[in-house]
Amino acid sequence: MVVIGGGPVGCQVARALDKRGASVRIVERDPQLRESIAEVTTDVVIGDATDDRVIEQAGIRTAASLVLTTNDDATNIFLAVYCRKLNPDAIIVSRITHPSNVEAIHRAGADFAVSDSQIKIQSVLAAVRGTEPMILGEGLDMFTAEVPRSLEGTPLLDSGILARTGLAVVAIEGNGVVDPHPRPERELSRGERVLFVGTASQRDEFERVFK
């Protein structure tokens, strides 16, 4: 597993993973943090995670799981896009500091988002194992709904779900198959179920608008 970010959160995650027998490598840009990281693991790569040398040295292309722990949402969003492109099959868990960025993190390619207000090592570990739904920011939750008749055959981009309700579509399930990263041009079909991230009021608005 590769943990990107060797600050307090990154070290906490790496320490917990190490205690559970996982092989962990930390990637950190700031060389001044090497000493504190060494208290957790000696397997550390100093450098920018988007640098070709660092990518190869850290094994980002082949890692089973990647945990993004920087304290800047914009950086984590960029890293999620970059890492997803390099490693389409990895489980990507990302820290977020602002709940409003949950949608952006998922659109960028992260499978799970853990908010600062709710961050728990158990949540990160469960996400890495793929055994637990994502942990969201305060006030946010996950909802599922069957595709309304009014949206059958409509491409996701043209559905107006986000614009009219504020809900973010993060996955679509149909015929026992889950599409975790639906493309904008994907058409919604009868009998499919859509997985949303949003607030209870946004869910109510969805039910009102698309009833």
Q: pLDDT tens digits, residue range 99-124?
A: 778 788 888 988 877 766 555 444 55
**What confidence score (pLDDT) does residue 152 get?**
95
Q: Torsion-angle region of residue 2: left (phi > 0), alpha (psi -120 to 50) or beta?
A: beta
pLDDT tier at 136 (50, 70, 90 boundaries)?
very low
Contact 83, 109 (CB under 8 A): yes
**What confidence score (pLDDT) does residue 132 get?**
42
Q: Mention every residue, 6+ apart, whose C-beta is less than 8 A from residue 81.
A: 108, 109
Distances (CA, A) of 167 to 62, 94, 141, 142, 145: 33, 20, 10, 10, 12
**What confidence score (pLDDT) does residue 117 get?**
52
Contact 169, 179 (CB under 8 A): no
Task: Express as a percent the part of the chain with pLDDT over 90.
Answer: 28
Query: Which segment of 76-90, 152-166, 191-205 scores lowest on mean pLDDT?
Result: 191-205
Q: Is the pLDDT of residue 190 over 90?
A: yes
For 149-189, the pLDDT digits (tens) are 999 999 988 999 988 888 878 778 888 777 766 778 899 99
CA 172 to chain centre: 16
Superfamily of domain 2-129: NAD(P)-binding Rossmann-like Domain (3.40.50.720)
Look up tokens 């996982």; give the residue. Answer: 22
Q: Is the pLDDT of residue 57 over 80?
A: yes
Structure tokens at 146: 């069957």
Q: Mention every residue, 6+ apart, whose C-beta is less than 8 A from residue 71.
A: 5, 7, 9, 95, 97
The whole model's pTM is what?
0.58
Look up tokens 């799970």; give the residue. Answer: 112
Residue 82's CB is within 10 A of a number of other CB atoms, namely 16
Give the DSSP H/E element, type plus range, for residue 94. strand 91-96
Q: How far apart are CA 193 and CA 179, in angstroms?
A: 10
- Domain boundaries defined on the chain: 2-129, 141-209
Contact 115, 92 (CB under 8 A): no
Which CATH entry fits the domain spanning 141-209: 1.10.10.10, 3.40.1180.10, 3.30.70.1450, 2.40.10.10? 3.30.70.1450
Strand, coil or helix: what is 188? coil
